[in-house]
Amino acid sequence: MGLLRGLLRGTLKNMGDVRFLSWRDISGDFWRWKNFTPEEFASRGSGALLVVPEFMDKIQALRAALGRPMVITSGYRTPEHNALVSNTGRSGPHTTGRAADVSIHGEAALDLLSIVKAHGFTGIGISQKGPIADRFIHLDDLPKDIGRPRPWTWSY
């Protein structure tokens, strides 16, 4: 197991996406995003996690630039979980491991919005109405594709 951890630590920057059946299977050697935990990004219910290092590097850099905590309320979603909670059904940004919802409101939300595009985020969904605890900003870095303009900003 130590050899596997060493290999993961040494090659993570050059690795593609990595799937885990549970966020609990992730070793400390693998997880390098100091302001976030694997549990925050795991799919609710099953605990499965798809780690896309490129996306995680972007969100960590965004957190460092923001200079304040970013609470992730939804990261990766299995297709099954996404179908239960999103109008995108069994697909959508969260099923790619390249999306996160950040619980944020007020001035902090404005500060975040002012820097997200410069950090490579191409999908920005804004929900800032209702109870403060329910307010969030969705971030993803999906590429432009047929039927999916990018950059794209929307409100819920």
**Mind listing the pLDDT tens digit for each residue in 121-152?**
999 999 999 999 999 999 999 998 877 788 99
CATH of the domain at 135: 3.30.1380
What residues of the chain score a pLDDT lower than 70? 1-15
Beta bridge partners of 100: 139
Tokens 């990595």 appear where? 18
Domain count, the chain: 1
Report the Cα 44 to chain-centroid distance in Å: 13
Predicted pLDDT at 15: 66
pLDDT of residue 97: 97
**Which domain does 71 fall in, by range?**
2-155
pLDDT, position 4: 41
